[in-house]
Amino acid sequence: MQDIASRVVYEDNHIIIVNKLPGELVQGDKTGDTTLADKVKLYLKEKYNKPGNVFLGVTHRLDRPVRGLVMYAKTSKALSRLNEMFKKGGVHKTYLAITENDPPTPEGLLVNYLKKNEKQNKSYVYEKPVQGAKEAKLKYKVLGRSDRYFLIEVELLTGRHHQIRAQLSHMGCTIKGDLKYGAKRSNKDGGIDLLAYKLEFVHPVKKENMVFTAPLPQDKLWQYFKDIV
């Protein structure tokens, strides 16, 4: 599994952090497609010559068209501790998004209510509470601009279904390539220009402060912004 080996950002006895590609599933769904978790399990099985099944716990998810850092647990102890940390906001996640429009202000806090439509696999944004909707909060900041696009840093304060995609679109800043939330056209790779860029947390077992960042995609637009990230 050379492909996965080249995408491992960090690994120890307890956790493994991998750079996800657009189009990959973090964990299984109704499509039955091979998942990133399947690939990582095979990588671990081959690397350590493990007999039988390999334990790998899913700690968080990224939407299929999103790329960037995904952390898996290699032990049940790490999984239970990480689950608790994610639930209590102990893992700080920073994203980078390339949008088609400039936000109304250079930085700000978005507070909305999101309601998921299961049939459409889409979240709808409301300004006030409605039945079945959950509060969604994020901070954003414009980092740079090209002649047609804007680079926005997003700090997630809650973890809702399609939260960044829905809230930025609602603000008038649809993410490049995100047809589901109003983008003008798709990207060639079928992904969207949203990158799970940074993970900051205290190691669940070692108790050390950990910070990891994803490599920027190689396409021209992302590379245009590389000096300001």
Q: Which helix (H) or strand (E) holds 161?
A: none
Q: What's the CA gap between 95 and 147, in Å, rounded?
A: 22
CATH of domain 2-223: 3.30.2350.10
Beta bridge partners of 116: 123
State the catalytic residues: 63
Tokens of 120: 């459409």
pLDDT on residue 1: 54
113: Cβ contacts below 8 Å, ≥ 6 apart: 125, 126, 127, 128, 129, 130, 133, 134, 135, 136
What mean pLDDT comes out for the span 146-151? 96
Query: Which residue in 217, 143, 151, 175 sits closest to 63, CA to CA?
Result: 175
Residue 2: band (very low, low, confident or very high) from pLDDT cuts 50, 70, 90: low
For the stretch 53-89, pLDDT in tens is: 899 999 999 999 999 999 999 999 999 999 999 999 9
**Token reading at 134:** 């959950």
pLDDT tens-digit map of 161-218? 999 999 999 999 999 999 999 999 999 999 999 999 999 999 999 999 999 999 999 9
Residue that is written with structure tokens 């898996």 in the block: 72
Residue 136 has pLDDT above 90, yes or no: yes
Burial of 157: CB neighbours in 10 Å, binned 0-12, 13-18, 19+: middle
Sketch the domain layout of the chain as residue ranges. Answer: 2-223
Take residue 5 and report the two structure tokens written for it.
């080996």
- 80, 86 Cβ separation under 8 angstroms: no
